[in-house]
Structure 1
């Protein structure tokens, strides 16, 4: 019960963070469409939105830096909002597609659905709709898998994780099996809430995403 109480408290905190983050999101992503380069949109939650981290130290910022270092001709628009759910991402995606016309969409959503008790069928339906909307607009998709805390029970935990692999197979999209792979059993890699990775963990998160994303970048010639 203590774990569930902590989760409810975190949901309230993230809801407040989401309200302020949403106000800044348009200006943060607007510049990505201005140069004419293809755009990678990261549609995520607090794990991608630098929750509790210094500005420009999260894995998405590290991805932007890696592309620049490798002279890979893409912009990265971080459209992640702390506390966001699959329903929120589904609602926000059409405007992002219209404005940014992404070549690639990285979908990192679902953990907050579990924290809020959203039915698994709803989470799956929302993720399917997000993927299909991106594909209909000629964007490639990377789906980022997640697990929920073990106190949800092994059956629920496995069913939740299977949503990602099932959708990836059914819709023929690339899958990152688990964003937090390699740090999940290392408390020192998490902030005080033991749910959000520290700054030191961010290169590991990028390392989990990069092998799945990199092949999709090869169709675009380097500068």
Structure 2
């Protein structure tokens, strides 16, 4: 409990300061474009992870981020899927909405949406966050009505008050139910608040923590990939 309290107190300050690295945007776009180009030749199905620093693997090598760990899992099982990591540190739902068109210029079969934490930590109006996520889902579905969408749930510390915190947490399951999309209840389950599974900033998962994030996502992704 003490470690989780420390996590809550540090989360808002450190997440905002360490995630706002705008230079990562070009790198994320280049990685997405390069992978998409490769996959046209290989004709593999594409799983696209669209998120913030948690998806990008802040502070770690790219192969240590949970999307890369999932790629290893998929390869070991012999499935023909290519993972694309379109994570961008500091990304908000508004920023995600603005770049989704560019990211989806490639064909995508499974779309994992991991955004919202930075909105909550900045106190962005909850209705704005909800609407942005809804618009992203709508855009993805319009591009490909048959796409499988997974929404990663997120929680924030109670700095903004209990009402805000509770309603923020409820955004994700409510959107998942409304849009009939798959839900990872809480991406950081088993990692948040554990100093041994987070980097020195107390916020971003270590390589071991990223393994747990990958497992949290795989519990939902597994059945989809096997179809």
- TM-score with structure 2 setting the length: 0.88
Q: Shift in Å at residue 188 of structure 1? A: 1.7
Q: Shift in Å at residue 4 of structure 1? A: 7.3
Unaligned runs of 5+ in 2: 1-5
Aligned partner of 1:156 in structure 2 is 164
| Corresponding residue SS for 1:56 | helix
Q: Give, in whole Å, the separation in 2 of the partners of 1:13 and 1:205.
A: 20
Q: Give, in whole Å, the separation in 1 of the partners of 2:14 and 2:190.
A: 26
Residue 143, structure 1, aligned to residue 146, structure 2: no
Q: Give, in whole Å, the separation in 1 of the partners of 2:114 and 2:55.
A: 8
Q: Shift in Å at residue 10 of structure 1? A: 4.1
CA contact (8 A) 1:189 1:198 kept: yes
Among 53, 56, 61, the alignment partner of 2:60 is 53
Among 28, 32, 39, the alignment partner of 2:31 is 28
Unaligned runs of 5+ in 1: none
Aligned partner of 1:118 in structure 2 is 124
Aligned partner of 1:81 in structure 2 is 88
Deviation track 1:162-208 (CA, whole Å, cap 9, x = no partner) reads: 00010000000000000011122422211122211111111111111
CA contact (8 A) 1:44 1:109 kept: yes
Aligned partner of 1:97 in structure 2 is 104
Deviation track 1:144-177 (CA, whole Å, cap 9, x = no partner) reads: 0000013333322211010001000000000000
Aligned partner of 1:194 in structure 2 is 202
User: Please, what is the CA RMSD of the aligned residues?
Assistant: 1.9
How many residues are matched? Answer: 215
Deviation track 1:44-91 (CA, whole Å, cap 9, x = no partner) reads: 000110101133111111011111111111111100000000111111
